Amino acid sequence: MSDVAIAVKNLSKSFKIAHQRDGLPGYRTLRDDLIGLPQRMLARWKRNGQLTSETFWALKDISFEVKKGEVVGIIGRNGTGKSTLLKILSRITEPTSGGADIYGRVGALLEVGTGFHPELTGRENIFMNGAILGMKRVEIRRKFTEIVAFAGIDKFLDTPVKRYSTGMYVRLAFAVAAHLDPEILLVDEVLAVGDTEFQQKCLGKMRDVSAAGRTVIFISHSMEVVSRLCPRAIWLHEGQLISDGPSDAVIAKYSDAGDRSAIQT
Walk along the chain (265 residues) and give the pLDDT tens digit of each residue.
Answer: 579 999 999 999 998 876 655 544 555 565 656 666 677 666 666 555 555 678 889 999 999 999 999 999 999 998 899 999 999 998 888 999 999 999 988 888 776 556 688 899 999 999 988 887 777 889 899 999 999 998 888 999 999 999 998 888 888 888 888 887 788 989 887 666 667 788 788 888 888 888 888 899 999 888 988 998 899 999 999 999 999 999 999 999 999 887 444 334 3
128 and 228 together in one domain: yes
51 and 65 together in one domain: no
What is the CATH classification number for the domain harbouring 161?
3.40.50.300
108 and 48 together in one domain: no
Q: Which amino acid is at 126?
A: I
Helix (H, G, I), strand (E, B) or coil at 46: helix
Q: How far is CA 94 from CA 15, 100, 246, in A?
A: 11, 10, 29
Helices and strands (H, E) in the chain, number of each type: 9, 9
34 and 132 together in one domain: no
Task: Tell me the CB-side half-sphere exposure of residue 44, using CA atoms within 13 A.
Answer: 7
Q: Which domain range does residue 33 map to?
A: 15-55
148 and 204 together in one domain: yes
By DSSP bridging, strand 4-20 and strand 97-102 are antiparallel
Radius of gyration of the chain from Cα atoms?
A: 22
41 and 137 together in one domain: no
**What is the pTM (predicted TM-score) of this model?**
0.76
DSSP state of 231: S
39 and 151 together in one domain: no
43 and 116 together in one domain: no
Burial class for 139, CB neighbours closer than 10 Å (0-12, 13-18, 19+): middle
- Asked if 218 and 187 touch (Cβ cutoff 8 Å), the reply is yes
47 and 123 together in one domain: no
26 and 94 together in one domain: no
Tell which residue, 152, 130, 156, 134, has the closest CA to residue 143: 130
What is the domain count for the chain? 2
Q: Helix 137-151 and helix 122-132: axis angle, to 10°?
A: 130
235 and 178 together in one domain: yes
45-68: string of b/e by CB count within 10 Å (b at 16+)? eeeeeeeeeeeeebbbebebebeb
163 and 122 together in one domain: yes
How far is the C-alpha of 182 from the C-alpha of 5, rounded, in Å? Answer: 12
